[in-house]
Chains A and B, each alone.
Chain A
C-alpha cells in the first residue's frame, strides 16, 4: 500500500512495449468499456421508462455494437490466454507464440461478427 511509481503518464505513453503492451492496453480498454456499458445497461433496465429506454436503445446502434463486441471478444480471448499461461506457468516461455495464436483466433471471429453486424444494420 502506498507504493510510489514515479512514472508520469507521458513517460508511460512513450513506453514502446510492442505486442504484449498492446494486448495489456486493449485488455484494460475492453474491461473498462464493458464495466461502463454493462453498469449503464443494468441501471437503465432498473430505472426503465423513457430514460432507461433511451439508454438501452444506444445498444441497437451498429457502430456501438462493433466497438462493444471488440471490447467483449478481445477481453475474453486475451483473458483466456492470460488464464492459461498463469495457471500453467511452464507455458510462459511460449507467450510470444500464444499472442500470435490469440490474434489468429480473434481476427477471424471479430471479422465475421463485424460483417454480420454491418449486414444487419443495412437491413438485409
Chain B
C-alpha cells in the first residue's frame, strides 16, 4: 500500500472563522472530557470506591460525578462525595459536554437541512438548547 502524503495548508492561509473555532472546540472538549472522567475516577478511588462500590457504580460516578450516582452503593458517608469541589467538577463536565453534544447535533442537521433559513433556525434552536439544558443541569447538580 502506498501511503499518500496529506496536504495541509498553514493556519495563516486557512483563515480562522467561527466554524474553524468550533471544529477545534469539538476536539479540545473531547480531550477535556477525558481529563474530567479520569479526575472523577481517580477521586472515587481515593474516596474509598475500591471496597464500597461495584465497577459499574464507579463508572457511573466517573461519567458524571453527581452524589445521586452514589446513593445506591455501600459508601457509608456521602460527605466527601457531596462537596462543592465535586459539584464544580460535575458542572464543568456538564457545560463542556452540552456544548460538544449540541454542536454535534448542529453538524448532523447541516447535512440534511441545507436552506439558509433552515440552518439559521437550527442555530437559534441549538443556542436555546445549550442555555436551557445547562441551566437545568446546574440546578440538578447544585440543588438536586
**Does the CB pair B101–A86 fall under 8 Å?**
no
B31 close to chain A: CB less than 8 A: yes
**Does the CB pair B27–A87 fall under 8 Å?**
yes
Across the interface, name the chain A residue whose C-beta is closest to B101: A35
Q: Which of B4, B5, B30, B137 contacts A79 (CB 8 A)?
A: B30
Please judge, given known A-B contacts A87-B27, A89-B6, whether A45 and B133 are in contact too, CB under 8 Å. no
Main secondary structure of the interface of B (DSSP, over half): helix
A1-29, CB < 8 A from B: 1-5, 28
Q: Given the complex, which residues of A lie within 8 Å of B115, measured CB to CB?
A: 2
Please judge, given known A-B contacts A35-B105, A83-B30, whether A120 and B56 are in contact too, CB under 8 Å. yes
B3 close to chain A: CB less than 8 A: yes
Q: Given the complex, which residues of A lie within 8 Å of B116, measured CB to CB?
A: 1-2
**Does the CB pair B108–A83 fall under 8 Å?**
no
What are the 8 A-B residue pairs with the smallest beta carbon separation, nearest first? A92-B6, A93-B3, A83-B27, A2-B116, A79-B30, A1-B116, A31-B104, A89-B8
Chain A to chain B contacts (Cβ below 8 Å), 28 pairs: A2-B114, A2-B119, A4-B114, A5-B114, A32-B108, A34-B101, A38-B101, A39-B133, A42-B133, A42-B140, A45-B68, A46-B136, A46-B139, A46-B140, A72-B63, A80-B34, A82-B30, A83-B27, A83-B30, A86-B27, A89-B6, A89-B8, A93-B3, A93-B5, A94-B3, A96-B1, A116-B56, A120-B56
